[in-house]
């Protein structure tokens, strides 16, 4: 049985940069023990850093083993690791399509299922980082949109399946945030400049708050709750705007 007097433990993938790094800092600030997972060493010290490529089954097993040996529990699993891509479907290779699904969806799915026994004991929480792009399609980002749609579908379908164990599932849908995401993406297209990206630190605060409140979902920045439905009301206008900003008329 879990000792409720033990420290609260959060396992976070993709902690070396961006949203994962900000989330780790926020949870540690509040006294949460963080197991940070990434392929490259972060420039800060989580309570444990595990070098791992979570697309590899043996690395996922290593993460579970070291987390269990160190803490014996997991209260929060934040599936954050992911990558983007900027390419038309015509130019997208099958290799790149399979590669982005391996990290953004299949690894996330496998991490969640693997940690379910620990989450059942702690009546913990899974936070799956999807994207606004799961709901609002973005031309030249079709593969990314498809993976994030799969993540949201996974969150919404596993939630009722694990409710009887006391596990909570939060679908996290960030919009544009200034993390250097584009520079780490693959593909032969340059994304258009879109000002007004959110702050990783403010996002991390919203993420922590969503966890504390046992929210069903988190949309950040909040104005996307209005902007996305409005754009979907006028699909023709959105298509024409997309064609222009992505230079698809040339």
| Per-residue model confidence (pLDDT) at position 2 | 45
| Per-residue model confidence (pLDDT) at position 6 | 79
| Per-residue model confidence (pLDDT) at position 186 | 73
* Domain 9-245 indexed as CATH 3.40.50.720: yes
| Per-residue model confidence (pLDDT) at position 190 | 81
| Per-residue model confidence (pLDDT) at position 250 | 77
Q: Which residue ranges make up each domain of the chain?
A: 9-245
Cα(245)–Cα(247) distance, integer angstroms: 6
| Per-residue model confidence (pLDDT) at position 194 | 67
Q: Please name the residue that has the structure tokens 């994962």.
A: 20
Provide block-wise average pLDDT over 10 residues at a time, the chain (250 residues).
Answer: 72 96 98 97 96 98 98 98 95 96 98 98 98 94 97 98 98 86 73 74 97 96 89 92 90
Bridge partner residues of 38 (DSSP) = 51
DSSP string over 146-209: HHHHHHHHHHHHHHHHHGGGT-EEEEEEE--BSSSTGGG-BSS-PPPP---PBPHHHHHHHHHH
| Per-residue model confidence (pLDDT) at position 189 | 81
């Amino acid at each position: 049985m879990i000792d409720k007097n033990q420290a609260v433990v959060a396992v976070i993938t993709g902690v070396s940069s961006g949203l994962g790094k900000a989330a780790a800092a926020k949870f540690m600030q509040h006294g949460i023990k963080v197991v940070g997972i990434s392929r490259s060493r972060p420039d800060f010290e989580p309570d444990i850093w595990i070098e791992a490529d979570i697309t590899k089954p043996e690395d996922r097993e290593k993460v579970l083993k070291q987390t269990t040996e160190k803490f014996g529990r997991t209260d929060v699993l934040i599936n954050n690791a992911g990558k983007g891509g900027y390419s038309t479907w015509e130019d997208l290779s099958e290799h790149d399509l399979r590669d982005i699904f391996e990290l953004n969806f299949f690894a996330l799915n496998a991490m969640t299922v693997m940690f379910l026994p620990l989450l059942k004991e702690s009546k913990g929480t899974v936070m799956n980082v999807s994207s606004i792009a799961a709901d609002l399609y973005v031309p030249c980002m079709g593969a990314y949109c498809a993976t994030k749609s799969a993540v949201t579908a996974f969150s919404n379908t596993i939630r009722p399946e694990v409710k009887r164990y006391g596990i909570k599932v939060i679908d996290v849908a960030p919009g544009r945030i200034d993390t250097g995401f584009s520079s780490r993406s693959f593909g032969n297209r340059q994304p258009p400049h879109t000002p007004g990206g959110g702050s990783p630190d403010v996002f991390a605060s919203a993420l922590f708050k969503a966890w504390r409140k046992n929210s069903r979902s988190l949309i950040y920045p909040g104005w996307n709750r209005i902007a996305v439905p409005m754009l979907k009301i006028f699909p023709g206008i959105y298509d024409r705007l997309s064609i222009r900003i992505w230079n698809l008329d040339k």
